[in-house]
């Protein structure tokens, strides 16, 4: 597995509307290109989904096809027209699409064994419990955790980070302790630690970027001291054990795209979201070393997380139940398990290799667009970019670009500050456009996107 600092390029995006890249975020961009039209060229009914949970097979007698072409038939949503054009979905860093096997797993749960988990002895409850806990084991195997008890299901990665912040952070951080974060982190990896620092008196320190616009690992190492108690960072190798710091890895944009081995990383905590890896929304997970989870107090109180409840006190269950109060997202977890089955059948190394090739093709193709500014390092033999590009075009607001691409060409990208305002301020802009790819995308998607982007640039340039 190749793990490099440039994986910061996997930015998470939220939609925003602006009229100028450097204007305050409260401004709005009117939709002046008309209403949206949708027409499906393929049935989106789960009942019509293929009965097989495997990746679509390719005729070996035909010419070799890309991974994107081989897997596209498994994703019904991709086979439709948007605004009169074939949908080109390039917003995968925000959320991925779902294969028929995941849709079928969700339908199967609700149609045949919908029940609450852990507390029932009847058949449906036992079946639901078995499938829910099987999903936990699948997650553990997928990231090579030592045991499934090290996997806590959460609503999403944001909740997983907050769980660590409130449970571990408030119990272990004191005044003058230091938390190191990079300026390239998602807001969900910054704001919880700001709150904890305010409550405990701990100090937040931020790592800047190099001239190549990647986190400065040399500066990070210089910041480390005996006062450092936690480093919060997106997916990079952990070499921090010698200073006694705990490491929380935001792996939302690595777990879906490459082999992740928590034991090899030696991460203390790692978080990810289901919906970015072909699974349902509403569920994510926290990995934590067993000795850390066992020492942490509950995050929420209620049913399921207790051992015994008395009028004057309560005792708590062992992890992971201690951190899963109330009825969990049962269907979501089962759907995540189905997504892991799907990804595992393809092979994460295969996905990673294909996306590296797609990323290089995307970067080189985008360079042909007039007046474009692509953020992040230039790909090389030693620098592997994620399969996305964040960019701006001179004198054209990114939301105007995204709107025109959608309504005139059926191309779905994202624009805004992408829940990374500190990073954008460092880059000198308030917003950027972002096209992000997944393994079901193809080089034809790149070609069509760049063609549409050139048309967009020409359209707005004609008004100058």
The pair of structure tokens assigned to 232 is 């919060």
The region that residue 327 occupies, defined by phi over 0 for left and psi between -120 and 50 for alpha, beta otherwise, is: beta
Q: What is the largest CA-CA distance in the chain?
A: 73
In 3-state terms, what secondary structure has residue 22? coil
Residues in CB range of 145: below 8 A, 6 or more apart: 139, 151, 262, 263, 287
Give the active site residue among 252, 278, 389, 419: 419
The pair of structure tokens assigned to 101 is 């096997």
The pair of structure tokens assigned to 143 is 């990231």
Q: For the stretch 322-334, what's the b/e string if a residue is b when 16 or more beta carbons lie within 10 angstroms of its beta carbon?
A: bbbbeebbbbbbb
CA-to-CA distance for 272 and 276, rounded, in angstroms? 8
Q: Which residues pair with residue 244 across a beta bridge?
A: none
How is 193-261 classified by DSSP, letter by letter?
HHHHHHHH--EEEEE-B-TTSSB-HHHHHHH--TTEEEEEEES-----GGGT-EEEEE-TTTTTTS---
- ∠ CA 251-436-33, nearest 5°, is 135
CA-to-CA distance for 461 and 426, rounded, in angstroms? 27
Three-class SS string for 119-131? CCCCHHHHHHHHH
Cis peptide before 432 (omega within 30 of 0): no
419 is annotated as an active-site residue: yes
CA-to-CA distance for 26 and 18, rounded, in angstroms? 7
CA-to-CA distance for 129 and 117, rounded, in angstroms? 5
User: If we measure between CA atoms, which residue out of 115, 161, 158 comes closest to residue 268?
Assistant: 161
Q: Do 388 and 434 contact (CB within 8 A), yes or no?
A: yes
In 3-state terms, what secondary structure has residue 287? strand
Q: Which residues pair with residue 391 across a beta bridge?
A: 374, 433
The pair of structure tokens assigned to 167 is 């449970």
- Other CB atoms within a 10 A radius of the CB of residue 275 amount to 24
Q: Give catalytic residue positions.
A: 419
């Amino acid at each position: 597995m190749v793990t490099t600092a440039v994986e910061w390029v996997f930015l998470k995006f939220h939609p925003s509307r602006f009229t100028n890249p450097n204007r305050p975020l409260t401004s709005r961009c009117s939709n002046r290109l008309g209403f949206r039209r949708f027409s499906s060229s393929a049935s989106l009914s789960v009942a019509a989904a293929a009965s097989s949970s495997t990746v679509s097979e390719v005729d070996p007698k035909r010419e070799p096809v890309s991974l994107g072409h081989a897997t596209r038939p498994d994703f019904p949503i991709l086979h439709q027209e948007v605004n009169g054009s074939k949908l080109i979905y390039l917003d995968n860093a925000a959320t991925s699409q779902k294969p028929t096997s995941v849709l079928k797993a969700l339908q199967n749960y609700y149609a045949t064994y919908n029940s609450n988990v852990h507390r029932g002895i009847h058949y449906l409850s036992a079946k639901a419990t078995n499938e829910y806990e099987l999903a936990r084991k699948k997650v553990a195997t997928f990231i090579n955790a030592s045991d499934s008890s090290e996997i806590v299901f959460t609503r999403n990665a944001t909740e997983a980070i907050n769980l660590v912040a409130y449970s571990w952070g408030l119990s272990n951080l004191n005044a003058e302790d230091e938390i190191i974060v990079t300026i390239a982190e998602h807001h969900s990896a910054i704001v919880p630690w700001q709150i904890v620092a305010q409550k405990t008196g701990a100090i937040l320190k931020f790592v800047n970027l190099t001239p190549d616009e990647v986190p400065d690992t040399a500066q990070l190492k210089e910041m480390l001291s005996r006062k450092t108690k936690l480093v919060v960072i997106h997916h990079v190798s952990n070499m921090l054990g010698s200073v006694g710091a705990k490491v929380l890895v935001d792996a939302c944009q690595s777990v879906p795209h490459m082999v992740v081995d928590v034991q090899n990383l030696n991460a203390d905590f790692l978080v990810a979201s289901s919906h970015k890896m072909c699974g349902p929304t509403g569920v994510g997970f926290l990995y934590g070393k067993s000795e850390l989870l066992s020492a942490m107090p509950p995050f929420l109180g209620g049913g399921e997380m207790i051992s015994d409840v008395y009028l004057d006190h309560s005792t708590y269950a062992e992890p992971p139940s201690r951190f899963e109060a109330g009825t969990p997202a049962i269907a979501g977890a089962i759907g995540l398990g189905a997504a892991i089955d799907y990804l595992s059948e393809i092979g994460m190394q295969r996905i990673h290799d294909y996306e590296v090739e797609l990323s290089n093709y995307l970067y080189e193709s985008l360079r042909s667009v007039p007046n474009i500014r692509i953020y992040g390092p230039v790909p090389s033999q030693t620098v592997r970019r994620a399969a996305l590009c964040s960019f701006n075009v001179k004198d054209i607001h990114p939301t105007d670009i995204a709107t025109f691409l959608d309504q005139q060409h059926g191309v779905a990208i994202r624009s805004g500050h992408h829940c990374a305002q500190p990073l954008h301020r460092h880059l000198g802009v308030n917003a950027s456009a972002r096209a992000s790819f997944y393994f079901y995308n193809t080089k034809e998607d790149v070609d069509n996107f760049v063609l549409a982007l050139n048309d967009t640039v020409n359209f707005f340039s004609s008004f100058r």
